[in-house]
Chain A
Amino acid sequence: MQQAVRSQAEALLEAGLRLSRRVPLARVTTAVIATEAGLPSIRFFDAYPDLSSYLIDLYQRHFLLPVRQRLEQILSGAPPGLERTRAATQAYLDFCLKQRGLRRWTIDARQWPEFDAAYNRASQGIQTLAEGELQGLGFRNPAGAARLFAAMVYEIALVEVEEGHEHYALRQCLWRLLGFRDRPLLQFAPREAVREPPAPTTTATPRQRLLRAGEALLRDHGGQPEALKLEALLARADVDRDGFAAAFGDLQAFELALIQSWTEQFMATCLAASQGLPPGTERLHAFLTAAWDCNLHEQRGQRMLMKALLRTDPELRARILTRVQGFTRIVAMEFQALGLASPQALARLFVAASTELVEAEETAAVPLPRLRETFWQWFDPLTAGARPAPQRSRELRARPEVAQTSFLTMQIGEVPGTGRHRRRSAEARAALRQRLLEAGDRLLLTGARLEAFSANRLALLAGVEAEDFSDCYGGWDDYLAALFGFLLDEVRDITVEATAHMNPGIPRMWRGIEAYLDARLDRPVIHELSRRLQGHAEALRLSRGRSAAFVRIFATEFRSAGWQDAEACGHLMTALVSETVQAEYEAGRRLPEYRNTLRNFLERG
């Protein structure tokens, strides 16, 4: 009897493995698995009590066990050191990619608490292996280092499983992070954040009063979302039901607004903490320490509310994802300002490790200084060792003769000749412009609307004199046009990075289009700027230039894929992508039906 159950379990596991290659987890039931195994549905329960236990067994036997064997083989066959750690990590990532159906199931199943707990227990063994390896690489806290390392590796596996191929830039970044021998402990004096004064309470609208009441309720109840009861809210904010309905409509909309307000405050706090510092290690420390503290203390309640809602609301998940990408963008900009290669990929790993740290501190409910120190041990050597901040300049990049090198000799962070009546070189002015544009971009990331922009605010954020603004830009629209170009440049850089090291052809083209669409969706302000700047000569030139560049790139790709009428197809593809950007902007989310139509055209056209 026991033998029969064992062979049934084997058959079910084999069936799961086959199914994982073609069916998403959302469509899998115990009956589907039993049918695939050629068994009556009821027999499933002879072998497993439920789907979750089955998935844990599947994960352990078909993923964890073979990957562990492979890792032990590598670790026992080579001397300890960087090369061995790298080989083992590579083998792990390659195995994830090979078993990507199962890996995807595992990722999806982690939203079930019982699976997640079992997953964490089962993965502990691999983390212990990593711990041993990292000890040899100079980490003072190998357990913490392994935890952050695992988060970064998990992030890479996630991206690769999603994209279906190896992500060169991400892996290279991880090897770079592993490779530093010198892991200094840098100390920076704590900074007093410059905050904008809050609006006086006497003039607060019912909406603002309700939001503050929501924050207070969450704070008082240890961040439990259940604390947000309508009656309690109304009493605390001194607003009646009609006032609530007029301000938010329903409780769900209120919760969303509360999270939106949290993300804006969160971003503003982080930026305020790093205000006035030049790009570099110290600014990153100030920015991220503020973020960690913020998550732990001031706005813990909203964060927990967000996590609770994230589990139930896919629309919200998409919106929050955009915010996380915003955070990643700020970090990427910082890395770019430091002249580091693959800034987007690096920022992704940085944010993955930081998120892991936030999770750990949240569980402990206190700051974890040793883990924070370990975090910086991972990243400080990279930023501290960076060449001092060469900054790309759009003005120079636009000139074909320097388009290949695209770097200024000017160092951002040291802006000579600020203030009125000073003679300023073209390079110094370009650096000032760059700072003002970055300030605008950061302001947008806090959720500020264009109407909230002013020359003074931007100058303050950029750490330059107010009169420098008028010295750099002829008029307000000229600044907005430059910001428009700056954002388009960002989108282009993200697209280029996403396709780096891929061979020409349709897969590369599709990867680029997807990265472009995501980057545009993440920057709705480009549309607002484009509308506002209708008729502005520079904005028109930029738009046309981008469009023409698209046509050229698409045409080259189509030609290399052997398509007839490559130029015309490039032109058509440009129009189709542009329309998809517009449709997604209107919907405020990804539209798979548009993307699939484009993809089908590329793959079957």
Chain B
Amino acid sequence: MPARPPAYRQRELLIQAGFELAEKLSPAQLTAGTLARRAGLAARSLTLQFGGLERYAETLQAIHYEETRRETLAAVHGLAPGAARILRATQAYFDFAFNRRGLRAWLSELRARSPAMQLQWRMDNQLYAQFLATELALCGWPHPVAGARLYIAGVLELVRDEQRENRRLPAARRALERFLNTHVRPSAAVGAAVTP
């Protein structure tokens, strides 16, 4: 009989299982038992390691947000501030979110019942809004703070739409680009579409 992995490893395996299964199963099928089985662990291990599905989802969401940020920042590494950098980051965010649409749908369902996850979600959006407000100010937006909040609302809506439609929506991405270009200084604007 194989030795039981240490606690930290069990947590890693369970998180890994969450990322994998979320893209294959429907939210209703994602139970503590299913996740533990996929991780090759005993049925109660998720409860033992995380204290329940809600706390587990909080951890999963925090890791997902961190990875999204890392991916988004990596996509714009070395680029100068401006509309092009914002659009490149947006595109990276869209693509990453699209690849994880199953996970996002599941997290969104769990979040509706969890104030802690809602707080995480708000904080994450605020963080993006702060970054973006600085970028928009550099692009010459007249109201960068308001603009950042509105732009992010547009991004989140588009991510939800792509998730619901289960396909990329190039027209919607172009609309968002149009919104961005309305307010940037001509020198900072991007003429070419970012969508494939």
Contacts beyond the supplied A601-B179, A604-B182: 17 A-B pairs with Cβ under 8 Å:
A534-B112, A535-B112, A568-B172, A571-B175, A572-B179, A574-B157, A575-B153, A575-B156, A576-B150, A576-B153, A576-B179, A579-B149, A591-B146, A597-B150, A597-B183, A605-B179, A605-B182
Within 8 A of A (CB), among B152-184: 153-154, 156-158, 161, 169, 171-172, 174-176, 178-179, 182-183
Whether B24 is near chain A, meaning CB under 8 Å from some CB there, is no
Measured between alpha carbons, how far is A593 from B133 in the docked complex, in Å?
Answer: 13
Whether A580 is near chain B, meaning CB under 8 Å from some CB there, is yes
Whether A565 is near chain B, meaning CB under 8 Å from some CB there, is yes
Whether B147 is near chain A, meaning CB under 8 Å from some CB there, is yes
Secondary structure of the A side of the interface?
helix
Whether B60 is near chain A, meaning CB under 8 Å from some CB there, is no
- Which chain A positions have C-beta within 8 A of B157? 571-572, 574-575
Whether B70 is near chain A, meaning CB under 8 Å from some CB there, is no
Measured between alpha carbons, how far is A455 from B148 in the docked complex, in Å?
Answer: 44
Chain A-chain B contacts (Cβ-Cβ < 8 Å), number:
74
- Which chain A positions have C-beta within 8 A of B169? 568
Within 8 A of B (CB), among A198-231: none
Q: How large is the interface on B (under 10, 10 to 19, 20 to 34, 35 or more residues)?
A: 20 to 34
Given contacts A572-B154, A575-B153, contact A583 B146 (CB under 8 A): yes
A579: min CB distance to chain B, Å: 4
Measured between alpha carbons, how far is A575 from B161 in the docked complex, in Å?
Answer: 11
- Which chain A positions have C-beta within 8 A of B146? 583, 591, 593-594, 597
Whether B138 is near chain A, meaning CB under 8 Å from some CB there, is no
Whether B145 is near chain A, meaning CB under 8 Å from some CB there, is yes
Within 8 A of B (CB), among A542-592: 564-565, 567-569, 571-572, 574-576, 578-580, 583, 591
Measured between alpha carbons, how far is A394 from B177 in the docked complex, in Å?
Answer: 38
Whether A107 is near chain B, meaning CB under 8 Å from some CB there, is no
Q: Select from chain B the residue with minimum beta-carbon distance to A565.
A: B171
Measured between alpha carbons, how far is A572 from B158 in the docked complex, in Å?
Answer: 8
Q: Select from chain B the residue with minimum beta-carbon distance to A558.
A: B175
Measured between alpha carbons, how far is A52 from B149 in the docked complex, in Å?
Answer: 43
A567→B150 contact, CB < 8 A: no
A596→B153 contact, CB < 8 A: no
Measured between alpha carbons, how far is A534 from B114 in the docked complex, in Å?
Answer: 12
Measured between alpha carbons, how far is A216 from B171 in the docked complex, in Å?
Answer: 64
- Which chain B positions have C-beta within 8 A of A569? 175, 178
Whether B52 is near chain A, meaning CB under 8 Å from some CB there, is no
Q: Select from chain B the residue with minimum beta-carbon distance to A604.
A: B182
Q: Select from chain A the residue with minimum beta-carbon distance to B153.
A: A579
A568→B174 contact, CB < 8 A: yes
- Which chain B positions have C-beta within 8 A of A535? 112
B183→A565 contact, CB < 8 A: no
B137: min CB distance to chain A, Å: 13
A567→B143 contact, CB < 8 A: no
Within 8 A of B (CB), among A97-132: none
A601→B145 contact, CB < 8 A: no
Whether A525 is near chain B, meaning CB under 8 Å from some CB there, is no
- Which chain B positions have C-beta within 8 A of A596? 142-143
A539: min CB distance to chain B, Å: 13
Measured between alpha carbons, how far is A594 from B153 in the docked complex, in Å?
Answer: 12
> Would you mind naming 27 contact pairs between A and B with Cβ atoms under 8 Å apart?
A535-B112, A565-B171, A565-B175, A567-B171, A568-B172, A569-B175, A569-B178, A571-B157, A572-B157, A572-B158, A572-B175, A572-B179, A575-B157, A576-B153, A580-B150, A583-B146, A583-B149, A591-B146, A593-B145, A594-B149, A594-B150, A596-B142, A596-B143, A597-B143, A597-B146, A598-B150, A604-B182
